[in-house]
A and B are shown apart, each in its own frame.
Chain A
Amino acid sequence: VTSLDDGVRLSRRVPGQRHPADASTARLLLGDVRVARTGPADPIDREDWLAREAWTDHRTHLAARPPGGLWLVDVLESAGLAGHGGGFFPAARKWRSALARPRGGTVVANASESEPISAKDATLLRQRPHLVLDGLALAAETLGAARAVVWLHADDVVTRLVVEDAVAERQRAGLPELAVEVVSGPGTYVAGESSAVEQALTGGPALPMFRGFGPSSRDQRHRPATVVHNVETLARAALLAHNAANAGPQWRAEVSAAGLETVIVTVLTATHRHVMEVPASAAVEQVARAAGWSEVPGAVLLGGYGGMWVSPGDIGDVAIAEPALRTAGAMLGAGIVAPVPAQSCGVAETASIVGYLSESSAGQCGPCLFGLVALASRLDELRIGRIRRSALRRIAEDLQAVRGRGACSHPDGVARLIASALEVFAADFAAHADGQPCESADSAFVPVPAVG
């Protein structure tokens, strides 16, 4: 871990001169944390509970926040900030399309972190709530929003307390900012999807909406926008804003990316999840080793349940940053790196995750509802060795039937996961289709929560 940390710090140091973007303004987390394999991001080690930046510490680390404004859209654009919830949609494009609509909209810091393995967003909020709230305020000011909301996962009680404390600290400090609403959404998988957050905040259910039609999007143009950002995206926007505002002209060009040189990941191990901030240039294998993986894993789940399986041989040397992974045909998604041991059964791992994802469908779109149930049961039959060769053909047909056919991308994520499993675990699938389930078919390494 230490060697990875040094990489970040060294790259920011310029001999003989004080660089405007030193380590404290280039990093997001105060430190790496170990949390339990499932549930909220509660640290395992007692001292990690104390890692929390109070308002006064925040103001010591960073100079006063600049006011938001159109200048910030340009900063985000030239830095290339993209959404860290998993979609990596360019933040500046999202802001420009919101700016084309009437003022008085809503900005949301989305910390629902509905990918069950992810613990990075809650960890970031618990450690540096003010950095995220700075980002939220900057977005609200830039976009002329009337509401600023922090959207949380139902069972994350601790993060809620931390955020409420931080909001109170800012009120006491008398900051000229929009009052922040702290809202606990449901704990379901799709409740963190941005259109579900938008619908819930306007009094509807926390379920994804359909946005595909011209007529409705024409209507939307006359209503203020709801802009939902992952909390890491907002924290990075805040760092970019601080660094750009405080840099002398001679530093401007170099500073444009200060705030994007690291990646925050949640790495799954046999005993815990490791939330860590690593240099964007760190290789996937290096990251896994830093989290405690001494053996070479059989495969790695990248991005989350709605992500994809990759082979360590294909991806081990690739940098953990989203652009590098995308070029290599992989993805960072929600920043999840979940290696599984070499003896794991890919059919069992995938069947267990798809079972959860199928139950997590909002049930609004027929192809997703029926298609995911069909895929989940086919995979489960394959897992226990009850069906034969035709199973693989049926799975291929059903993948075709669900892709692109939901209002949100939930079915697409499931299809991608299964398609990647068929490639990475081809031998496991062939053995199971031959009626030879492996010994580990009854237990999965990747934990899956019960659907409430």
Chain B
Amino acid sequence: MRARHAARVSAVRLMVDPIRCEAVGVCAQLAPGLAELDRWGYPLLPAATLTKSEQRLARRAVRGCPRQALALVSPADQD
């Protein structure tokens, strides 16, 4: 039970709400290598779930986004 809970909590993706995002670009500075900007300044994010160290970077980006457009999303929450 505990193991299953832990596994579910750790499988997360970094996602952007494309309506909120206004291409400020802070995410690319706070999470280099994770959030890359396209040629208009909007972030391209990895489709895969994140490793432990990537999650640390991603959390910084989520907290630092001035538009609050980013979130760590567990695949189980979508649908």
Contacts and interface: CB of A to CB of B under 8 A. Distances in A.
Contact of A367 (B18, B22, B74, B79): B18
Contacts of B41: 366
B71 A215 contact: yes
Contacts of A371: 40
B19 A364 contact: yes
B42 A217 contact: no
Query: Which size bracket describes the interface of B in this complex?
Result: 20 to 34
Interface stretch (A50-58, A174-182, A294-302, A399-407): A399-407
Interface string A370-408: 110000000000000000000000000000010001110
Nearest to A371: B40
Interface residues of A, number: 20
Interface in B24-66: 38-42
B73 A210 contact: no
A320 B38 CA distance: 39
Contacts of A364: 18-19
A405 B79 contact: no
A367 B42 contact: yes
Given A217-B79, A218-B77, A366-B23, A212 B15 contact: yes
Contacts of B71: 213-215
Contact of A405 (B22, B42, B73, B77): B42
A401 B18 contact: no
B61 to A, nearest CB: 15
B39 A214 contact: no
Interface in A266-324: none
10 contacts: A212-B78, A213-B77, A217-B78, A366-B18, A366-B41, A366-B42, A367-B18, A368-B18, A405-B18, A406-B18
Interface of A: 97, 209-210, 212-215, 217-218, 364-368, 370-371, 401, 405-407
